[in-house]
């Protein structure tokens, strides 16, 4: 990689992740610079400077755009609108990227550092609160874009959330926390018939708790049913990734950009995306049947 195309040409803050990659992670540096060679034409004029101080956030923007390019999308950017613009036949799709932090160091709701010593409760509610807060902030930003005329309100709008700064976040299992941030989904539960006879099945079946609110440490509630709320209809979907600059997604031992992406469709979207729109990764498709909500998990090709 030629030096003039490197994001690591200048020293960074001692002890920072940027400086670690610049001086001690040549393979990571090479992979990042390869993405940079594709993204340079789309980057704003502050990107290189801010990359040194806000590596996770700015890497997420670059990785997102480059993954979509690699997957055959026509990607552009706008100085006055969301981070990524996808041009499609018949219109545009806007994507705003966000990489939530662990939260205020003084807050009891802060997502803790990853700790391998001893046994700890998984901080699911704290992770959900960080996702929910970041989504709410980007909804406000979208409204400002529309008011300024930078975005057509009839275009689909996606919020792309990265867990790169939340080392303690856990994404495996039947209900990733990003689902719990936008739909009223709680813990999985199994119903058992106590009056079942010897020849009857005592297991009725599993489902999930209805949890429309998650509570902060001060007992104030934050709604987690926003994809059932018409007030959030401007959000077409949430796209989620749990990879980061040091840990790219792997398929059969090889880097596979976007294979980890989750796309969660908004049931109440004013401008919905067609099912299968992403074309790779995993999509969650919601359906209502009476007063029951179901989410179908559709795994799409990884490569």
**To which residue do tokens 């995306």 refer?**
273
Q: Residue 2: its pLDDT value, please?
A: 44
- Would you mind telling me the total number of residues written for the chain in this entry? 303
Please tell me the pTM assigned to this model: 0.93
Kindly list the domain boundaries of the chain, sorted by start residue: 1-53, 57-241+257-299
- Give pLDDT tens digits for 278-295: 999 999 999 988 888 889
Please answer whether residues 228 and 183 qualify as being in contact, where contact means their C-beta atoms are separated by less than 8 angstroms. Answer: yes
pLDDT, mean over the chain: 91
The single-letter DSSP state of residue 301 is P
Helix, strand, coil percentages for the chain (3-state, nearest 5): 30, 25, 50
Please answer whether residues 246 and 28 qualify as being in contact, where contact means their C-beta atoms are separated by less than 8 angstroms. Answer: yes
Say how far apart CA 64 and CA 77 lie, in whole Å: 12
Helix or strand run (H / E) with residue 98: strand 91-98
Say how far apart CA 127 and CA 222 lie, in whole Å: 13
Please answer whether residues 120 and 188 qualify as being in contact, where contact means their C-beta atoms are separated by less than 8 angstroms. Answer: no
**To which residue do tokens 């709320």 refer?**
229
The single-letter DSSP state of residue 159 is E
Rounded percentage of the chain residues whose pLDDT exceeds 70 = 95
Which of 52, 15, 49, 57 has the alpha carbon at shortest distance from 244? 57
- Give pLDDT tens digits for 141-161: 999 999 999 999 999 999 999
């Amino acid at each position: 990689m030629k030096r003039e195309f490197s994001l690591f040409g200048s020293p960074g803050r001692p002890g920072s992740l940027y400086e670690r990659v610049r001086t001690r992670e040549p393979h990571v540096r090479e992979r990042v610079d390869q993405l940079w060679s594709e993204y340079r034409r789309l980057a704003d004029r502050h990107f290189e400077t801010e990359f040194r101080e806000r590596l996770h956030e700015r890497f997420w923007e670059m990785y997102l755009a480059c993954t979509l390019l690699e997957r055959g999308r026509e990607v552009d950017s706008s100085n006055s609108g969301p981070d990524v613009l996808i041009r499609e036949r018949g219109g545009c799709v806007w994507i705003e990227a966000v990489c939530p932090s662990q939260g205020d160091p003084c807050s009891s709701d802060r997502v803790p550092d990853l700790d391998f010593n001893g046994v700890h409760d998984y901080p699911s509610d704290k992770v959900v609160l960080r996702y929910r807060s970041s989504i709410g902030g980007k909804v406000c930003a979208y409204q400002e874009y529309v008011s300024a005329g930078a975005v057509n309100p009839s275009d689909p709008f996606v919020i792309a959330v990265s867990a790169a700064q939340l080392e303690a976040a856990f994404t495996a299992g039947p209900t990733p926390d990003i689902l719990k941030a936008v739909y009223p989904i709680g813990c999985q539960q199994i119903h058992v018939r106590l009056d079942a006879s010897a020849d009857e099945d005592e297991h009725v079946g599993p489902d999930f708790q209805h949890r429309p609110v998650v509570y902060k440490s001060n007992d104030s509630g934050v709604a987690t049913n926003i994809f059932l709320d018409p007030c959030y209809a401007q959000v077409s979907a949430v796209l989620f990734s749990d990879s980061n600059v040091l840990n790219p997604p792997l398929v059969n031992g090889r880097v596979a950009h976007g294979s980890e992406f989750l796309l969660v469709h908004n049931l109440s979207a004013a401008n919905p995306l067609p099912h299968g729109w992403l074309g790779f990764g995993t999509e969650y498709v919601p359906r209502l049947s009476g007063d029951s909500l179901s989410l179908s998990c559709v795994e799409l090709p990884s490569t």
